[in-house]
A = this chain, B = another copy of it.
Amino acid sequence: MRSIMPPTDNAPRRALDRIADVRVTPIALKDPPLLNASGIHEPYTLRAIIEVELASGVTGLGETYGDMPGLLHLQAVAPLLRGLHVMDVHPMGRIVNSVVTQQQMASVPSTVLDVATGSLPGKMSAKTYAAFETAMLDAQARSAQLPLADYLGGRVRDRVPYSAYLFFKYAQHIDAPYLPDQWGEALDPASIVAQARKMIDEYGFKSIKLKAGALDPDIEVDSLLALKEAFPGVPLRIDPNANWSLATAQRIAKRLGDCLEYYEDPVGTLEEAAELHKSTDLLLATNMVVTNWREFAKNLNLGSIQVILADHHFWGGVRATEHLLSMCDTFGLGLSMHSNSHAGISLMTMTHLSGILPNLKYACDTHYPWQCEDVLEGGRVPFVDGCVEISDAPGIGVELDREKLAQLHQQYLDCGYTRRDDEAQMRKYVPSHKKFKPRY
């Protein structure tokens, strides 16, 4: 007597839930001349939009980095996913791994692979997987007629708070490829306060992050102290992207006193971070030195970092990030979300993911206010009181505007950039510029 039931006739449903087509479309979004530890943002930020279309017509959306060689990997994987069931994230992962390995061994020139950490072999697999996993989860949730947050296990909040992400910047890109942005120059404390005021007025953010590591550290600290005075009680963070030596980070910590909600990536190694934490007792946050499980385990030993800034794009997708966040809970670490320049699909995926985390203690990062273009039907994602809402619409709750997608893809083809290089861009302004860390 067999207790296993005979197969039911679920073939029709399963056929409808199979992947009929996967499209990977690189786009370029206008990006302001924002200064950072490497140099300066180029006039365009590159993203890739993923569409996973099922036989039922339901289409899941994903967004990831648009630079080479990541894009080549996405494009190599995409056609191989046709015919998989929308639930088949494990087979998808095996396809990703086979392509990543093959490409690394063969067709991608090693000079292209070497330019950025995000393009190193160790991240290629996780970020390629994440791009398709998020789109497949979106398609799953849409098929189940559930918002992604509810599909992932049930939201704990209907709106996710983000922080005002301030940058030192120039008023205009060199060579002026298009009209200047609305934000103007910001190279001193007064203009940073003005930038914060404008951004908070428009978006309603309740906390502030200052990107540092670009100018002399004391100008950056003066700016943070000016923000403290201008916005009393508003949580503040500073992020020099590991561009400070341990000694500088310790000196700055003294100047900042109890100013900070957390101190993000002041130094470049877990060992230095451990020393800094011990000597200052400040909460340290990172998206640079805890970026995979090996580093996570090492951080547990050293006690370096107390707040992990998660990012589903490079942590291996939504499910892996969900687990990262429960690991943070297990080990008593705080958490929030890291951001690179991105469009609305990434924002909505981050929002739904953040919507299920009971232990989200800090407002998430987003570069979204710095972009003015997007691929969404009905315009850009709105912020209310610094938050993005999780609606009751299925999936991530937004739809693709194919005309805008086509325009921004054309902009990608026209702009001439194929990989992010903030250092080379800065050499257009300062021919002798060279990235090295720590600079200060």
**What's the dominant secondary structure at chain A's contact region?**
loop
Q: Is A151 an interface residue (CB 8 A)?
A: yes
Q: 12 pairs across A/B with beta carbons < 8 Å? A: A1-B379, A1-B380, A2-B382, A3-B344, A4-B381, A4-B397, A5-B394, A10-B146, A13-B145, A87-B153, A90-B153, A319-B323
Q: CA A1 – CA B300 in complex, angstroms?
A: 45
What residues on B are CB-neighbors of A92 within 8 Å?
154
The yes or no answer to A229 lying at the interface (CB within 8 A) is no
CA distance A150 to B11 in the complex (A): 13
Question: Does A378 lie at the interface of the complex (its beta carbon under 8 Å from any beta carbon of B)?
Answer: yes
Please give the distance in Å from A397's CB to the nearest CB on chain B. 5
A10: chain B residues at CB < 8 Å are: 145-146, 392, 394
Q: Which residues of B contact A94 (CB under 8 A)?
A: 358
Most buried by B among A3, A151, A323, A327: A3
Asked if A85 is at the interface (CB within 8 A of a chain B CB), the reply is yes
Q: Mark A31-71, 1 if CB is under 8 A from B, else 0.
A: 00000000000000000000000000000000000000000
Q: C-beta contact mask, A390-402 vs B, less than 8 Å → 1, else 0?
A: 0111100111000
CB pair B4 A391 closer than 8 Å: yes
Flag if A3 contacts B392 (CB, 8 Å): no
Distance in angstroms between the alpha carbons of A399 and B300 in the assembled complex? 44
8 Å CB interface, A127-171 against B: 144-146, 150-154, 156
> Which one, B3, B84, B144, B358, contacts A382 given CB within 8 A?
B3
Q: Which 9 A-B pairs have the closest CB atoms?
A: A7-B392, A1-B379, A5-B393, A88-B154, A10-B145, A90-B153, A3-B376, A3-B378, A90-B154
Closest Cβ of chain B: how far from A270's Cβ, in Å?
Answer: 14
Does A389 interact with chain B (Cβ within 8 Å)?
A: yes
Q: Is A6 an interface residue (CB 8 A)?
A: yes
Q: How far is B282's CA from A398's CA once the two chains are assembled, in angstroms?
A: 54
Q: Which of A317-354 contact B (CB under 8 A)?
A: 319-320, 323, 326-327, 330-331, 344
CB distance from A325 to the nearest CB of B (A): 11
CB-CB nearest in chain B for A380: B3
Shortest distance in angstroms between A382's beta carbon and chain B's nearest beta carbon? 6
Given contacts A10-B145, A323-B323, contact A5 B398 (CB under 8 A): yes
- Having A5-B391, A6-B391, A323-B323, one finds 5 other A-B pairs with CB under 8 Å, namely A3-B377, A4-B397, A87-B154, A88-B154, A91-B154
